[in-house]
């Protein structure tokens, strides 16, 4: 009779049940971790491309507003917006995340003329998972387009 009372008044979980649940959660998390890592790097690649596009648009707007030449150039792991003059001042800089690389085939500079027009330029960014994003600047109009290649 005492054994049945213990079974009926039992509240909570046994140690074995808790260990099984923890091990199942551990197995599931190790299976999903690579997926989340890849998603995070894709997100970093996209946001970097959007930041570079914003820098290019800013360079075009400044060239129109101030009737000056501005250039966006790649120096090591940075995109830099500066006045095109000798000793021109730097307006803004974007430092790339260590997981983002500038791939071969990229142009290293685009110049906006006094009226906001530019030559064609392409910047190719990639991440450690082999995904890449092209950022293209159109001839004449200076329109910036992001092309995602996953």
Averaged pLDDT in 10-residue chunks for the chain of 150 residues = 59 87 87 80 94 95 93 93 89 94 94 91 93 93 87
CATH number given to 14-149: 3.55.40.10
- 44-71 tens-digit pLDDT: 999 999 999 999 999 999 999 999 999 9
Q: Give phi and psi for 59, each to the nearest 5.
A: -60, -40
**SS3 of 77-102:** CEEEEEECCCCCCEEEEEECCCCCEE
Query: What are the DSSP calls for 119-131, one per residue?
Result: --EEEEEE-TTS-
On whether the pTM is more than 0.85, the answer is: no
Whole-angstrom distance, CA of residue 127 vs CA of residue 34 = 15
């Amino acid at each position: 009779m005492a054994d049945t009372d213990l079974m009926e008044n039992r509240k909570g979980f046994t140690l074995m049940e808790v260990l099984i649940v923890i091990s199942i959660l551990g197995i599931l998390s190790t299976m999903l971790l690579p997926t989340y890592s890849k998603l995070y790097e894709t997100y970093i690649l996209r946001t970097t491309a959007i930041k570079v596009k914003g820098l290019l648009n800013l360079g075009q707007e400044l060239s129109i507003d101030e009737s000056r030449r501005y250039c966006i150039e790649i120096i090591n792991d940075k995109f830099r917006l500066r006045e095109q003059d000798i000793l021109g001042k730097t307006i803004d800089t974007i430092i790339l995340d260590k997981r983002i690389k500038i791939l071969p085939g990229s142009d290293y500079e685009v110049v906006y003329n006094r009226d906001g027009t530019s030559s064609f330029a392409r910047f190719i960014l990639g991440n450690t998972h082999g995904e890449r994003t092209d950022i293209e600047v159109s001839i004449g109009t200076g329109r910036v387009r992001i092309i995602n290649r996953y």
